Amino acid sequence: MTVSQSVRRPVGRSLLLALASTAAFASVQAVAAEPIDPRLQQAMQRDLGVSAERLPQYLATQRLSLQQGAAAQRALGSTFAGSWIERKADGSFGFVVATSGTGKAARSLGGVEVRNVRHSLLQLERSFAALDAQSNARVPGISRAFEGVQSWRVDPVSNAVVVTVAPGAIGEGVELVALSGADAGAVRFETGEGSPQLTAEVVGGIEYSWPVGSQFGVCSVGFPATKGSVRGFVTAGHCGTVGKNVNVGNRASLIPLGTFANSDFPGTDMAWVTINANHTLSGRVSNYSGGFVSVKGSVEAPIGAALCRSGRTTFYKCGTIRSKNVTVNYREGTVRGLTESNVCTGGGDSGGSWITADGQAQGVTSGGQIPLGAPDNCSVAASSRVTWFQPLKPILSKYGVTLVTH
């Protein structure tokens, strides 16, 4: 992305706290380290640009952050300004906690860097909520207001609410901020490369599909799940409406797979597909290299964490989490609560699974910023690439389903 307008980056001193204690490491036993599948390790090294020597330290920092982030939020209270994993200049990784206060309450935390910033997370979230509220206020006679505004998110790394706009649409972004009453001093504008697009496409393909005239619509299976004795999988809501029947196999030999039992889009992008009795479930994710990654649970990873995405079009790709609770203004409707990453995606990847090296399921693919005329955003530099996924836990909660693990 290119920065169109920037306001107030984090300033002030940084306080580097002591290295993590043995007790701090012991507190993350709920997500204990396990050997990494060699193919998963290779994919992460390839897509993240992390050496084999640095990857274990990255993943150890990621595990530690699950407890340290929650502890920091409790300690800092209303002055908490977010947390994330950060790659240092020497290639190592550290966990950063931001605060709009003095940071004294966080001195007892080991293994974290406390950084002083201007805005608390609560202040940023208030401005974010104002933008959400304004986007709901439709203008009479206009079906989709602020069409040039693509998304907005709270970004603790830059201590701002980041509003992404299409090229030449900075005026619409400024107008949205002004009308919403959001704190303009907490807002930063970026120009998106491409435009938000849902990644379902009409092709003859694999994974799961449905007929669209003489063609086929295609999406990707998310995660197997159960609801009592009922079996199925979660996926993206924009892939299908309630009652739609889907298949597996190719056009010459289609096998009925199941039916959309629940689907929510826009607003959120989630669905629950029940499968027919002749199919079985396995708590694994395809790595598109002839192997599988076992699903161990659904512990939510922090900003900066490494993860990989599996989908039928661009296969198995890895990257990091950039932001959470992002609102995306798709042409088909606004979706809230998405997580943003720099993992590439393409048409047909929608609904596919996102998983960490520890086997923690994160969500299902929603969409991404796709360059005009391109089938995917894999050619976009990772620093500018944007893809969103619907977090998993809200799906499990909404539909009352249980993740299948392996």
Residue type, 52: A
Taking the C-alpha atoms of residue 199 and residue 93, their distance in angstroms, rounded to an integer, is 32
132 is catalytic: no
Closest listed residue to residue 122, CA positions, set 102, 103, 105, 100: 100
Is the Cβ–Cβ distance between 39 and 287 less than 8 Å?
yes
- Tokens standing for 376? 């995917």
DSSP code, position 262: E
406 is catalytic: no
Residue type, 322: R
Taking the C-alpha atoms of residue 203 and residue 83, their distance in angstroms, rounded to an integer, is 41
The three-point CA angle 71-95-101 to 5° equals 60
Is the Cβ–Cβ distance between 67 and 28 less than 8 Å?
yes
Choice among 286, 350, 353, 366 that is catalytic: 350
Choice among 155, 264, 269, 349 that is catalytic: 269
Choice among 47, 238, 310, 341 that is catalytic: 238
- Tokens standing for 374? 């391109």
Is the Cβ–Cβ distance between 399 and 272 less than 8 Å?
yes
Contacts of 56 (CB under 8 A, 6+ apart): none
Strands 14-16 and 201-202: unpaired
238 is catalytic: yes
Which residues are the active-site residues?
Answer: 238, 269, 350
